[in-house]
Structure 1
Amino acid sequence: MKKIIAGIFAATIASSAFAASSEPQGVTREVHFGGLNLANAEGEAMLNERITRAVRQICGQRVFAPLQDAMAQRECYRKVFASARPQVELAVAKARSGNRYAGDPAVIAIAPTGGKGL
């Protein structure tokens, strides 16, 4: 009986630690796209793949998790992707219109809380 209670206690601590860390505050990742041609679908797809990898670094990637943890991770993914969306749209629009300037950064900053300057 003590082993069962200890196991449940350990599982509870592990799951609550994941829930607390599933949305790390102040964590950002920079996704560079300087070598990509965002004027075509292939370049945009490569950028989206880079963003997906960065989101997994921020939010984690657990296959089997308790429902509460899975929901927290999904919310983290939603927030981080939302922080990237306007930056991606702007970069793609500039590339397709030819209005890209030398001083424009070729980087997208993503974070669970909206990223830099959002």
Structure 2
Amino acid sequence: MKSLAIATAALGLIMTTSPALADPQERVSQNVSIAGIDLDTAEGQRMLEQRIDRAAREVCRVNHINTGTRIPSHAARECAAKARGSARQQVAAIIENQRRGG
């Protein structure tokens, strides 16, 4: 499985979503590096989840302070949830492809 983690790390991950506060037609992507992460371990999977969550929050501007409130907008939270789901699907596809020898 070590070769799976090394091969997967070389691919990287792109998260694409529509930012909460942008034009709905605009698509933003952010690379999430999986270099140096051993996806065969619980610790490596936790590290990847943290990187994905950080990127989703950044792309969707969850931490952007809106005038009059510190609570992230519903649209920003929804955007981040969709981005995390998309990223997880991409990770699963990458892992499955590597397991099949691709």
Smaller-chain TM-score range? 0.5 to 0.7
Q: Secondary structure at the residue paired with 1:35?
A: coil
5 Å-filtered alignment, 1:90-105, equals 90-92=93-95, 99=99
Query: Alpha carbon RMSD of aligned pairs, Å?
Result: 3.1
Q: Which runs of 5+ in 1 are unaligned?
A: 1-17, 105-118
Contact 1:39 1:92 in 2 (8 A): no
Q: Which runs of 5+ in 2 are unaligned?
A: 1-18
TM-score normalised by structure 2 residue count: 0.60
5 Å-filtered alignment, 1:1-118, equals 20-21=21-22, 25-60=26-61, 61-62=63-64, 64-65=70-71, 70-92=73-95, 99=99
* 1:79 positional shift: 1.5
Q: Greater helix percent: which structure?
A: 1
What's the % identity of the aligned pairs? 34
Higher Cα Rg, which structure: 1
Runs of 4 or more off by more than 3 Å in structure 1? 90-95
- Residue-pair matches, total: 79
Q: Which has the higher contact order (CA 8 A, sep 6+)?
A: 1
